[in-house]
Amino acid sequence: MTTGPTRDPVALVVDDEPQMRAIITFALETQGFTCLEASDARTAWHVVEHTPLDLVVLDVMMPGEDGVTLCRRIRRGHDVPIILLTAKGEVDDRVDGLEAGADDYLTKPFSPRELALRAQAVVRRARPTAGPASIVVGTLEIDLATMRATDADVPLQLSATEMRLLVALATRLGEPVPWRDLVHEVWATDTDDGGREMLKTTVYRLRARLEEDPSSPTRILTARGVGYRMVRPVTRT
């Protein structure tokens, strides 16, 4: 993702319904976004591959390749924040989207104002912030300026959501962090609706990238009845 203070954030709006694209575009433009539009996954993928983007707003229910599948494809090669939109409201559907690498999730019908504010929050969280240059935990190094991480000098392919969770845990090394605090920090929401499942799914994905055996984690541990904590690996001599 390429972004900077000298230009407006650029969002790609992907929805097969022209009226919905117009509503989303208008809402984002009122908050300073420059918007591009696509009516299908093929067109959207071309834009993602050839245009620096700060955000993708992606409808799940599209003919042909659906939004969740496209989200997975984008996430394999790009770290641009993604907000998924769907007419479905079940927790399982939100989890599917988050497992695909989405950073946030809205259910139709939604408030255009809420979408615009969430879009601002997602983009703001993805941008570098002032503070320490990096966090080092054993062989893991997190560059806070670029929001990228390496483990034993090997780059980790993390989504923006996974990176925010990793930073939230690493900055509180050894401390049990309540799951509600993590949901608030990672997704910028205070709602309990589906929050634990969203967090559990993201922890699962993060463990899969960090742990030698994700089923028996040694770095990101469950703090039973509380949430999760990250520990420094023991150095063997």
| Total residue count of the chain as it appears in this document | 237
Phi then psi dihedrals of residue 34, to 5 deg: -95, 130
Residue 94 has pLDDT above 80, yes or no: no
* pLDDT above 70 as % of the chain: 87
Residue 133 has pLDDT above 80, yes or no: no
Residue 99 has pLDDT above 70, yes or no: yes
pLDDT value, residue 198: 85
Give all domains of the chain, ordered by start, each with its CATH number.
10-126 (3.40.50.2300), 134-230 (1.10.10.10)
Phi then psi dihedrals of residue 47, to 5 deg: -65, -45
Cβ-contact 41, 69 below 8 angstroms? yes
pTM above 0.75, yes or no: no
Per-residue model confidence as pLDDT tens digits over 176-223: 999 988 988 887 766 666 678 889 999 999 999 999 999 999 999 999
* Beta strand spans in the chain (E): 10-14, 34-38, 55-59, 82-86, 104-107, 134-137, 140-143, 148-151, 154-155, 177-178, 220-223, 227-230
The residues near 48 (Cβ < 8 Å, ≥ 6 apart) are 12, 56, 74, 78, 80
pLDDT value, residue 103: 85
Per-residue model confidence as pLDDT tens digits over 150-169: 999 999 988 888 998 999 99
Euclidean distance between CA atoms 205 and 140, whole angstroms: 16
Largest CA distance in the chain: 64
In 57-191, alpha helices (H): 67-77, 91-99, 112-126, 160-170, 179-187
For the chain, give the mean pLDDT.
Answer: 85
